[in-house]
A and B are shown apart, each in its own frame.
Chain A
């Protein structure tokens, strides 16, 4: 594994969006960033700007009014990106499930990679979720680099060109293919 790929996932910057949550999980997210839990020690920054973010931390069940914003924000994060749904209501609608003005969970609109349970989700769990997201982020990056491996016979060349040439990942790839 090159130095590059070792280094490249150590700076997950976060975009935090409240899609109609009760604010409980938002407070917990901020707590995770606070000195006590110090999420910054993993290089995390709360950037607040989709264009400079990698991890999309969403809370809330998606109210009707927040749908478009949610999608717009998701679209504005440049690839590779990961979505973390924080809190029960974000995953399934939680306490808001079935209400007249909400969708039940954000995965109706955007693909979610990590679900963090809890109502509210605790800071430790959130940190865990973010770390999980970082792992998925690395996988996604590798998947993005996959086009190098197209065209069967060209595979070897692709192998050489690709930044990804570790065994584990290859195995995992074979596993995924039908």
Chain B
């Protein structure tokens, strides 16, 4: 089962993404695109003529996708949480390198913001993982999922994760990394056609990664997991629809101080 999930991660992610586009549209009282829109997008992108800036740029994008997929697969298969975070970090760093590897101002600005955001949320994620370790005695996802829900003792870590989610999913108010109207997508700007599809899939896989992390708070309770994920899903989209973008330095400050502060407080509480 989990192997199947891991293998089908991009497909699954695409469905989540398609669903999300509908939900977002409904929140704005629109009809929105069909559920299978990500697949239509794929069909279209694969049909376009291939152009690229240089080979390394494309390769790094593909590496980004593969590593992200691996991170999600490890999450589904019950791997070591810190290791998963590290793989995830490298996936993003590959993207950052790709962003810097072309001479495009937007790409550079985007890569730079990506780095800054990484700096803000990576420690938070590590602390959240430590929170799981302190409460369950294991870093292994497998183990965490066999224990009772840890939302209670880790509620502040959960809030910290909520701060991180909009960054990961490129949602307002923390979408300065992508900022379509401002830096035209940032790091992904120079990808087109099939190569962009790879990045597009990576984005969808990221959804699974993030909601997978949310699921961890529910432990062995499927019901709570479903409730948590759907609540977070709705919340993130509602916030996305209702807020404006904050600047990258504000983002850094909010997430680093807020997220780290919350997670630290929580860990102090847990370890005392």
Contact = CB atoms under 8 A, between A and B. Distances in A.
Q: Are A and B bound to each other?
A: yes
Contacts of A47: 180, 185
Interface stretch (A2-10, A59-67, A86-94): A2-10
Contacts of A7: 39-40, 43-44
Contact of B28 (A4, A35, A78): A35
A48 B181 contact: yes
Nearest to A48: B184
Interface residues of B, number: 32
A162 interface: no
Given A10-B37, A38-B32, 15 more contacts: A7-B43, A8-B44, A8-B46, A10-B44, A11-B40, A11-B45, A40-B25, A41-B25, A43-B37, A47-B180, A51-B190, A52-B185, A78-B49, A78-B51, A80-B49
A26 interface: no
B44 A11 contact: yes
Given A52-B191, A52-B192, A41 B33 contact: yes
Contacts of B25: 35, 38, 40-41
B32 A41 contact: yes
Nearest to A9: B44
Contacts of A13: 44
A103 interface: no
Interface in B23-80: 25, 28-34, 37, 39-41, 43-51
B180 A43 contact: no
A17 B51 CA distance: 21
Nearest to B38: A11
A109 interface: no
Interface of A: 4, 7-13, 35, 38, 40-43, 47-49, 51-52, 54, 78-80, 141
The 7 tightest CB contacts between A and B, nearest first, are A51-B192, A10-B40, A7-B43, A11-B44, A38-B30, A8-B43, A11-B41
B138 to A, nearest CB: 43
A29 to B, nearest CB: 14
B238 interface: no
Contacts of B34: 43
Contacts of B191: 51-52
B43 A79 contact: no
Contacts of A49: 184-185, 189
24 contacts: A7-B44, A8-B43, A10-B40, A10-B44, A11-B40, A11-B44, A11-B45, A12-B44, A35-B28, A40-B33, A41-B25, A41-B32, A41-B33, A42-B33, A43-B37, A48-B184, A51-B51, A51-B190, A52-B192, A54-B44, A54-B48, A78-B49, A78-B51, A80-B47
